[in-house]
Chain A
């Protein structure tokens, strides 16, 4: 198992050395195992800390974004056992041995997934802030339905807001990726 030792691994270490004070007196911390992007990690976090916060702040996986932290915009979508979930509404203690996938778990710059490739080619990312969530939601869709109809794509991604693209290029990119994958 790959122990997540922040002191060795990364400059991120806020919670490792959380200051103990009156405010923290009643905070319960839990040592958890979390499986993220195919690797196992052991983390010690306050139980109320959301998956979004743990991913971004404790694990340095800042590819997962946030737009409201209230479950309204879809921007913090990650995959939990392949299904899109809002990481701002999940607590790591709920996850058990579930597999979490973030955008960092898709292809890297060296080898983009067909969806990432299509998003890049068609301009489906403008400011790019909603893009990680869109990619994950679309990845989940294409795994279940390799060749979805346009309306089905719209419905599957309707929980994710985007203010730049008008969704047009995102739908086209999902269609392009679906086409390439089903032909490949």
Chain B
């Protein structure tokens, strides 16, 4: 592995490769596309949270001049969904609607206003059903009918998924504890709020469908279109337009993408649909509201002996990523703390709200918030320093957790030292109204398994070199996080050229090999490794050609590649030599994560080839009179393995801090009487410039053995510790616990009132409902020092199985 001195472009704070296009306004986002004869599409959505569709009459709409096509549920009957186990959505519903905003019909017209007017003339008769609007209600048998068919859910009440795992001897663990504490927490749902409204444009020419979309996952949209439209995949092309922000919110295939595709097929004209901001709130797939119960046993000294979790997720109306989300509320706790016995029970319910899914941190910010606060309280119980209590339970690098997650590089200690020292946490000013809080977290550098089960690579890169230069092709989707820049930097580094000399074609399913997309923080690690492999193979071709020309034999390492040269030749000359020698030059690279999970069903969620680590200290002022909280400064350290571009890493860390603060203080996807309370950017509060504190960022580099140049993720992990650090700081300031997110002034005042009355100085959920999680899957913990992966690990499982059968 090349060290920093030898690296020419990796590790330098260079501008993004698309910076000029973005600061001049010439970057073309999906809604900027305007094709000749293009029609505009609007979608009719349910005004009811839960209803049977009795009839849909679109006769009048079809008669309006300028209307070119109207679709109803009959036209798109095939179900889809991001996960193979949750094919529960339709592009247009024909039987029933499950939330306010569920799509029912669509119109394509020559003008958007005509399409909008046509929607108003479509008559839909609904048979209203009782809406289910909370976790508690969803756990009860419904008064009329469940939101989804039992044939699909195979669950009682409105339950969607239930999981129950026990790792190690929980009973013995709790028996060994000197102190046991239970707490209940609630994390309210919130949404991504990307600045760009979702938009898609479709054309259908010569029997081939092309869709431009503001999506994070062109490959998964490709699959969904092929399925619902019953087209072979080679007749469908999905192109990721320049992307105006996702944060997980554009990681599902969406109704409007399928609808414009069908409308283009029906009309033979290009069709565009751009969601209104209100519709974006309904498209959602955001943070699940999660109710959590946690019980931990500790020794007098603060060492964790056992931990037991129960979670209940409010999934909204559809499956989305929910079957994975429920696991994520229980899997990654063990990646920061060494917990010798661990039990996790989780359930996701359906409710008549906009569907929840993955938002930055997918399913893990909620338990992270609960876990960090819970440990703060335990430290207080024991009279221990919370930082030291956490620290003595930190996982060690290169170990395997009780739930079989393989931890490799781990900068928890270093991150903690950085923020504790820089913030002066130990010498902090102690006065009412001012407080500091500390928290840590971990996140995946890409999920170890794909959305749909297969053995193929998770990322593939093709590299073409000819007399005109270098072009890289990769399905990875630039969503603003710097995906394209990572590819360019890695390839430039290996070929010894400038990143500006690498032409990129990304996220176009006709041209680029598959990359699974921008979710689960996978791009730097997986596409980065694929690019690295492709570039190293290309480099070898260039070096071989130069060696042959100059008569070098044997050790080719004396031919240096760098600064635009290959040995004694310029890069261009080397390309010419190699093309003359080998013919058309291309190389490929791919990345497939090894099998890492344990020998049990459900072990596919949680494993990642590497985990990033973060630590955060936050200082705030809280006004006991108004309940207002003002965050003054945030210190955040993030172990990114290696910063391929420190400028972009810092940008991801700062953006994560911001988004975490928004969730901690104000953002709320709340409902009243079956409707979203504030589907607008004015009422859905998010932090502005003046709400944002100063942020001091520390990039910690642990040089991961498997990441490209040692790199891990940066886009999601740093959000996680911010939220619990805020609640811990609030306790430091006012002596109250807000066991709920967001921390609104109203909740602060309620907790202060309880405190003044001599009650528990707290605001939060009172209890946890009874949930039947079913029988547990009991799993033997691994040897913590056994780090085998892939075929070696599978061979070990087969051997163990064989022994048991004997």
Residue interface mask B42-69, A partner, CB < 8 A = 1: 0000000000000000000000111000
- When the two chains form the complex, which single residue of A117, A123, A153, A163 contacts B245, counting CB atoms closer than 8 Å? A163
Whether A184 sits at the interface, judged by CB under 8 Å, is no
Give the contact stretch, choosing among B290-298, B572-580, B649-657. Answer: B649-657
Which A-chain residue is minimally distant from B662 (CB atoms)?
A: A163
A116 to B481, CA, bound (A): 19
Q: Please report the total number of A residues contacting B with Cβ < 8 Å.
A: 65
Q: Is A23 positioned at the interface, with any CB of B under 8 Å from its CB?
A: yes
Chain A at the B interface: SS class = loop
Write out, one digit per residue, whether chain B residues 108-136 have a CB within 8 A of any chain A CB (1) or not (0): 00110110010000000000000000000
A53-86 interface with B by 8 A CB criterion: 56-57, 60, 62-70, 72-73, 75
Give the complex CA separation of A23 and B686 in angstroms.
38
User: In the bound complex, what is the Cα–Cα distance between A112 and B25 (angstroms)?
Assistant: 12
Cα-based distance from A129 to B686 in the complex (angstroms): 17
A154/B690 in contact, CB under 8 A: yes
Q: Report the nearest A residue to B22, measured CB to CB.
A: A128
Instruction: Decide: A112 near B24, CB < 8 A? Known: A19-B110, A21-B66, A164-B651.
Output: yes
B681 touches A67 (CB 8 A): yes
Contact B15 A123 (CB under 8 A): yes
Tell me the smallest distance from the CB of A33 to a CB of chain B, in Å. Answer: 23
Q: State whether A167 and B20 are in contact (beta carbons under 8 Å apart), knowing that A127-B195, A128-B480, A162-B195 are contacts in the complex.
A: no
Q: Mark B180-213, 1 if CB is under 8 A from A, else 0.
A: 0000000000001111110000000000000000
Residues of chain A contacted by B806 (CB below 8 angstroms) = none
The residues of B that contact A161 with a CB separation of less than 8 Å are: 195, 681, 686, 688
Shortest CB-to-CB span from B731 to chain A, Å, is 24
Counting CB contacts under 8 A, is B692 at the interface?
Answer: yes
B66 close to A166 (CB less than 8 A): no
Give chain B residues whose Cβ lies under 8 Å from the Cβ of A163. 192-195, 245, 247, 655, 659, 686
CA of A119 to CA of B479 in the docked complex: distance in angstroms? 18
Instruction: Pick the residue among A11, A109, A153 that contacts B24 (CB under 8 A).
Output: A109
Question: When the two chains form their complex, are residues B193 and A62 in contact, meaning their CB atoms are under 8 A apart?
Answer: no
Contact of B196 among A129, A135, A168 (CB under 8 A): A129
Q: Does B433 contact A (CB under 8 A)?
A: no
**Is B498 positioned at the interface, with any CB of A under 8 Å from its CB?**
no
A164 CB contacts on chain B under 8 angstroms: 195, 245, 480, 651, 655
Query: Within the complex, what minimum Cβ distance (angstroms) separates A137 from chain B?
Result: 10
* A65 near B680: Cβ-Cβ < 8 Å: no
Question: Can you name the residue of chain B whose Cβ is closest to the Cβ of A53?
Answer: B112
Q: Is A36 an interface residue (CB 8 A)?
A: no
The reply to whether A19 and B65 form a contact with Cβ atoms under 8 Å apart is: yes
User: Given A65-B29, A125-B16, A126-B480, A72–B24 Cβ distance below 8 Å?
Assistant: no
Which residues of A have CB within 8 Å of B16?
A: 120, 123, 125-126
B692 touches A168 (CB 8 A): yes
The answer, yes or no, to whether A35 is at the interface (CB within 8 Å) is no
| A-B contacts at CB below 8 angstroms, number | 197
Are B682 and A165 within 8 A (Cβ)? no
Instruction: Report the contact-size class of chain B (Cβ under 8 Å from the partner).
Output: 35 or more
Q: How far is the CB of A144 from chain B (nearest CB, A)?
A: 17
A109 engages B64 (CB within 8 Å): no
Q: Which of A60, A62, A66, A166 has the most CB of B within 10 A?
A: A166
Q: Among B117, B244, B680, which residue has its beta carbon within 8 angstroms of that of A128?
A: B244
Residues on the A chain within 8 Å of B682, using CB: 70, 72
* Bound complex: CA A66 to CA B648 (Å): 25
Apart from A23-B117, A161-B195, A168-B692: 19 A-B pairs, beta carbons within 8 A = A14-B111, A19-B114, A23-B113, A60-B34, A63-B24, A63-B26, A73-B195, A108-B24, A120-B15, A120-B22, A120-B23, A122-B647, A123-B647, A125-B19, A128-B27, A131-B22, A161-B681, A168-B658, A171-B689
- State the A residues within 8 Å of B (CB): 11-12, 14, 18-19, 21-23, 56-57, 60, 62-70, 72-73, 75, 102-104, 106-109, 112, 116-117, 119-123, 125-132, 135, 153-155, 157-171
Question: Which residues of B are at the interface with A, using a C-beta cutoff of 8 A?
Answer: 15-16, 18-29, 31-32, 34, 36, 64-66, 110-111, 113-114, 117, 192-197, 242-247, 276-277, 479-482, 647-648, 650-651, 654-659, 680-682, 686, 688-690, 692, 695
30 sample A-B contacts, Cβ–Cβ < 8 Å, listed by A number: A19-B110, A22-B64, A23-B64, A62-B34, A66-B31, A66-B197, A67-B681, A72-B681, A104-B25, A106-B25, A108-B24, A112-B24, A116-B23, A117-B23, A120-B20, A122-B647, A125-B19, A126-B482, A126-B655, A127-B195, A127-B480, A129-B195, A129-B245, A154-B692, A161-B686, A162-B195, A163-B245, A164-B245, A166-B656, A168-B658
